[in-house]
Amino acid sequence: MFTLLKKEIRSFLSSLIGYIAICVFLLLISLFMWVINSNSSSSFNANVLDSGYANIDSLFIIAPWVFLFLIPAITMRSFADEKKAGTIELLLTRPLTDLQIILAKYFAGLILVLFSLLPTLIYFYSVYKLGNPVGNIDTGGMWGSYIGLLFLGAGFVSIGIFASSITENQVVSFIIGLFLCFVMYIGFDFLGSFSLFGKIDNIIIALGINNHYGSMSRGVIDTRDVIYFISMIAVFILATRTVLESRKW
């Protein structure tokens, strides 16, 4: 499994996909946080310098929307490319279980997401030094928000891996992954906001990622939120295994 994991990581880093994904993520976040002037009429000011507050909350608000597009682009080739190239059968004949193959590809995508987040610590250091006085920033809340963002990225990776397993076309995989990520992230909020289901509207909202990510972004690591993300990731990984096992039916 670790051999396949290293192969997947090398595959990402030996092509332009991994570097482009990381660079695009950092570029977009940097533009919103430091360059683009926010609308003065808006209650949310993404530009750190304009807001006048020593925090990087804008990173944790903008990053999920960037991940929404970038993670399906990263994972779209995981199984789709193997199917199109005709190497999927060779891969599945290795002395590995289907679950080990899926986990190797999953963790490779997750490591790439982690690589994209590490450089953003420079933003934290910058705001830390810019604070008045120096260090006037909620460090505990910031780390809680990072953990929430990592869980969100992990969830999106599991969705992207599943989307890649059901088609051999990378573009179709990207579209399906993007759609599912959007539904899981904000779709349940939209559905629950219509108040169509009475008392279970709150339950519907709780099924969405945004409800739990928002809680963790406030720096509060609740066991219920952690269990939600772990359960969601497990569901999509098991769904991917079911798709791969369907070849035996």
What would the pLDDT profile of 49-68 be if each residue is shown by its tens digit?
676 666 788 888 889 999 99
Rounded to two decimals, the pTM is 0.90
Q: Per mean pLDDT, which of 24-33, 38-47, 65-74, 125-134 is the most reliable?
A: 65-74
Give SS3 for 218: coil
- Confidence at residue 52, expressed as pLDDT on a 0 to 100 scale: 63
Q: Residue 149 in contact with residue 64, Cβ under 8 Å?
A: yes
Least confident of 12-21, 74-83, 155-164, 187-196: 12-21
Residue percentage of the chain with pLDDT more than 70: 93
Structure confidence at residue 164 (pLDDT): 94
- Provide the pLDDT for residue 66: 92
55, 127 in Cβ contact below 8 A? yes
Q: Which element (helix H / strand E) includes 148?
A: helix 139-165
Check: CB of residue 151 under 8 Å from CB of residue 137. Answer: no
Residue 214 in this model has a pLDDT that exceeds 70: yes
- Tell me the pLDDT of the chain averaged across its residues: 85
Q: Assign 155 a pLDDT band (cuts: 50, 70, 90).
A: very high
pLDDT of residue 222 exceeding 50: yes
**195 DSSP assignment:** T
Residues contacting residue 148 through CB under 8 Å, at least 6 positions apart: 60, 213, 215, 216, 217, 221, 225
Tell whether the model's pLDDT for residue 39 goes beyond 60. Answer: no
pLDDT at 195 over 70: yes
pLDDT band at 131 (very low <50, low <70, confident <90, very high): confident
Is a pLDDT exceeding 80 seen at residue 13? Answer: no
Which residues have C-beta within 8 Å of that of residue 88, sequence separation ≥ 6?
Answer: 79, 82
Q: Worst-scoring range by mean pLDDT, 30-39, 44-53, 190-199, 229-238?
A: 44-53
pLDDT score of 249 more than 60: no
Q: How many other CB atoms are found less than 10 A from the CB of residue 203? A: 11
State mean pLDDT over 179-187. Answer: 94
More confident residue, 178 or 195: 178
Position 41 scores a pLDDT of 47
pLDDT higher than 60, residue 44: no
More confident residue, 235 or 133: 235
Look at residue 106 and tell me whether its pLDDT is greater than 90.
yes
